[in-house]
Amino acid sequence: MEANHIHRALFGHDAPEEVRRQYASAREALPLADWPRIDLERLIEHGADLEALELALRRSRRRNALTQRFQVLCYLAEVRPDNFGRFVNERRRWPAGWLILGLHLLRSLYKLAKGRRLVRVHDIR
């Protein structure tokens, strides 16, 4: 469930079966940072915006348990051929590149505000 929700926050759809399996093994093998102590399952049940929450937490502390979960999933997704085009730009897209970055900047400002509110609402410390 966790892998699916993070994958959805990153790419807009559920994680493939193989990624879910690899993510579960990675979570078992690697120790997450001890901050913040969050009940991710509960947050997911409440429909919390994980992308917004991750950004807000990363702005307060670079190494945190939620960002680490996102990073692990990002690595696992990036090495899959079906995600190649999401990470590597093969054709020159000069105006589109600027436009997309501009839109993401605005979107990230909104997500940051939303994430900070979530931190307060769920009393994440």
Partner 1 sequence: MTSADIIIVGAGPSGTFAAYQLRGRAPLVLDVGYRAQESALDGNFYELRKARSAGGPDLFAEFIGPGFEGLHDVFHSSLSARLKGPRMRFVTRAAAELSPVVAQNFDASMSFAAGGMANAWGAGLYRFTADDLAGFPIGVLDLEPYYDAITAKVGISGADDDLSRFFGSVRGLLPPVTLGANGRALLRRYTRRRKSLNRRGLYIGHPRLAVLTRDHDGRRAYRYEALECFRPNDPAVYTPTYTLDELVRRGEIRYERGVLVERYAESSAGISVLARSSSTGERRTFRCRRLILAAGALNTAKIVLRSNDDHVTALPLLDSNRSSIPLVDPWGIGGALDPSVYSAAMLRAVYAGEHGPGLAHMAVYAIGVGTLCSDYLFDFPLSARGNIAAAKYLTPALLLVQLSYPDAPTPTNHLRLLPDDRLELRYASKPASPLESHVLGLFRELGYLGARGLCRRLTPGNSCRYAGALPMTATPVGHYQTDRHGLLSGTQGVYVADAANFTWLPSNSHSFTMMANAMRIADHVGRTLG
Q: Does residue 17 touch partner 1 according to CB under 8 A? A: no
Q: Does residue 92 touch partner 1 according to CB under 8 A? A: yes
| CB-facing half-sphere around the CA of 25: CA atoms within 13 A | 6
Residue in the structure block whose two tokens are 């079906």:
82
Q: Does residue 104 touch partner 1 according to CB under 8 A? A: yes
Identify residues 41-70 at the interface with partner 1 (CB under 8 A). 51-52, 54-55, 58, 62, 67-68, 70
> In whole angstroms, how close is the CB of 103 to partner 1 at the nearest point?
9
Q: How many residues bind partner 1 (CB under 8 A)?
A: 52
Where b means 16+ CB within 10 Å and e means fewer, 12-43 reads eeebbeebbebbeebbeeeeeeeebebebeeb
